[in-house]
Structure 1
Amino acid sequence: MKAEFNSRVDLQREVIKIINKRSLKSQLTGLSKPAIDNWFYVNNISNELLKTTLIDISEKLFFIANKSQDHITEEYKNLQLSVRENIFELKRIIQS
């Protein structure tokens, strides 16, 4: 179970590092919806695709966190892969 926790935390860190590489007024401090909303507001960002992608990642990681006490299911594994795909998309969005 510790490995699943570490994997989820590593995914969260990766997302935050990708976002915070940009030089903006404020850095993203977490992946909760209020943290994401605040980051967009403070930095005056209006990129809806970026926001949707971040919230999607956030929701999936929250689900993974709640399922980490359960046996690892196919759904859990698929969500981890889906988060990886979202991170790839996030990198693409940031670079454009």
Structure 2
Amino acid sequence: MSEFNNRIAAQREILIVVNRGGWREELFGLSSGAIDRWINANRLENGSALVELIRQAADKLFFLSNKSQEQITEDYKHLSGEVSALTDQIKQTIINMR
């Protein structure tokens, strides 16, 4: 259960970090549809560094959510660390955009 909570906390942190950017419309989730809507609403470039970082984090979190309980291994921990690093990169990118 803690892996589930950690995943949810990571998603929540990414959304909080992104939404501090003061966009026209907030990012409401990390699904591809939610990200596409956010990109369009805020007139962002689809290939921008920020968008790519968000998509990478979303992909890794999606992968983690599909791991079965038996598969929670060092790979899971490694991916969790990658998500944390991506979150830090998202923060820095938003700071640099201001």
Q: Same fold (TM over 0.5)?
A: yes
Structure-2 residue corresponding to 1:19: 18
| Distance in 1 separating the partners of 2:40 and 2:34 | 10
TM-score, scaled relative to structure 2: 0.91
Higher relative contact order (Cα pairs below 8 Å, separated by 6+ residues): 2
Task: Count matched residues.
Answer: 95
Report the AA paired with residue 49 of structure 2.
Answer: L
Report the AA paired with residue 28 of structure 1.
Answer: L
Q: CA deviation at 1:74?
A: 1.3
RMSD value over aligned CA atoms? Answer: 1.2
| Distance in 2 separating the partners of 1:74 and 1:23 | 37
Q: CA deviation at 1:68?
A: 4.5
**Are 1:51 and 2:51 matched, yes or no?**
yes
How many percent of aligned residue pairs carry the same amino acid? Answer: 37
Runs of 4 or more, structure 1, over 2 Å off, are: 68-71
Greater CA drift, 75-84 or 44-53: 44-53
Unpaired stretches in structure 2, ≥5 consecutive residues: none
